[in-house]
Amino acid sequence: MEKFLDEVLIEVTAGHGGAGSMHFRREKYVEFGGPDGGDGGIGGNIIIRANLSMVTLDRYLTKRRFRAQDGFPGEGNERSGKKGEDLILFVPLGTQVFDEESGELLYDFVKDDGEFQVAKGGRGGKGNTHFKSSTHQTPKFSQPGEDGEYKHLRFSLKLLADVGIVGLPNAGKSTLLSKITEAHPKIAGYAFTTLSPNLGVVKRKGDIYRYTMADIPGIIEGASKGIGLGLSFLRHIERVKGILYVFDAAALDIQEDFRMLQSELRSYNPELLNRPHLIVLNKIDIWEDQSFTEELLKSVSSLGRVIPISAQEEINLEELLSVMDSTFFQKELEELHFNEEEDRENSDEQK
């Protein structure tokens, strides 16, 4: 079973530069011909590159030290040594690269074409041909190559989701994600079913535009202090445009649960409370009394826009998606509408 690893420490060392050559041309009747030692090759670099097929840092679970190839030594006849091969390390989109010793953020992989050279290979040494002079015709020395850069790194993965789904265990978050996206999270009726974030893609308006949703494992009181699973995964909603607070509609005190969830988010990162949000009351199919649903909606209306649904029975899911469009993606929809108008105008002009 794949382990969801979202933070790891590794050590990287770029390649050592190749040694310069101490070599002389062979000339008849001359003990030492002119110096012709070539330079050593540059050591290989350590490069980090985004890989869209990766969703976790699990490949770094067993191996934590990496070294690029050393540069090759120089040779006679002023032949330079080959450069050492670069070592490319792949990470999921959304990975941040930190210098573990200084704490500095070196690079943030937010684009799928991201690439970052984190450690530079050492310079190759100069061959003895560089050290010939009018007073020193036969230099019997050359330079050694230089060490490649060493870095102690921390990879920290933050999912690049547009919408984060948060709630208490068993609120139905995974079921909701499975119904409105093509994700297939593990679903069962016990606490902490979700042991890792699940990502899904929502396709809207005939797949004209898409956005991603992340189901964050159930948050319990004290998650921001390390209780339960929440602390490990709260980082994965730091980049979202909007938050869905999902509740079991039959919960005893939804308002108190909402305050607890917001308190945990505030403790972890207060800025999260500034994101647009919607309240989702799930599992309304467990009763048939519509008047009870209406009373429940009134009782929690102060928390924000409230959408009653049944993820399992697929009740009101299209309404939820429409409200999400207008709440979280209004700017994108306006740009899409503007582009469609431009296309129509250009088409009319061509006619």
Asked if residue 167 belongs to a known ligand binding site, the reply is: yes
Asked if residue 161 belongs to a known ligand binding site, the reply is: no
**What distance in Å separates the CA atoms of residue 206 and residue 336, rounded to the nearest whole number?**
13
Asked if residue 215 belongs to a known ligand binding site, the reply is: yes
Asked if residue 45 belongs to a known ligand binding site, the reply is: no
Cβ(96)–Cβ(42) under 8 Å?
Answer: no
Asked if residue 194 belongs to a known ligand binding site, the reply is: yes
Asked if residue 172 belongs to a known ligand binding site, the reply is: yes
Asked if residue 128 belongs to a known ligand binding site, the reply is: no
Asked if residue 193 belongs to a known ligand binding site, the reply is: yes
**What distance in Å separates the CA atoms of residue 308 and residue 284, rounded to the nearest whole number?**
7
Asked if residue 13 belongs to a known ligand binding site, the reply is: no
Asked if residue 6 belongs to a known ligand binding site, the reply is: no
Asked if residue 96 belongs to a known ligand binding site, the reply is: no
Asked if residue 195 belongs to a known ligand binding site, the reply is: yes
Asked if residue 198 belongs to a known ligand binding site, the reply is: no
Asked if residue 51 belongs to a known ligand binding site, the reply is: no
Asked if residue 171 belongs to a known ligand binding site, the reply is: yes
Asked if residue 346 belongs to a known ligand binding site, the reply is: no
Asked if residue 10 belongs to a known ligand binding site, the reply is: no
Asked if residue 218 belongs to a known ligand binding site, the reply is: yes
Residues comprising the binding site? 167-174, 192-196, 215-218, 282-285, 310-312
- Which residue ranges make up the annotated binding site for Mg(2+)? 174, 194
Binding residues for GTP, as ranges, are 167-174, 192-196, 215-218, 282-285, 310-312
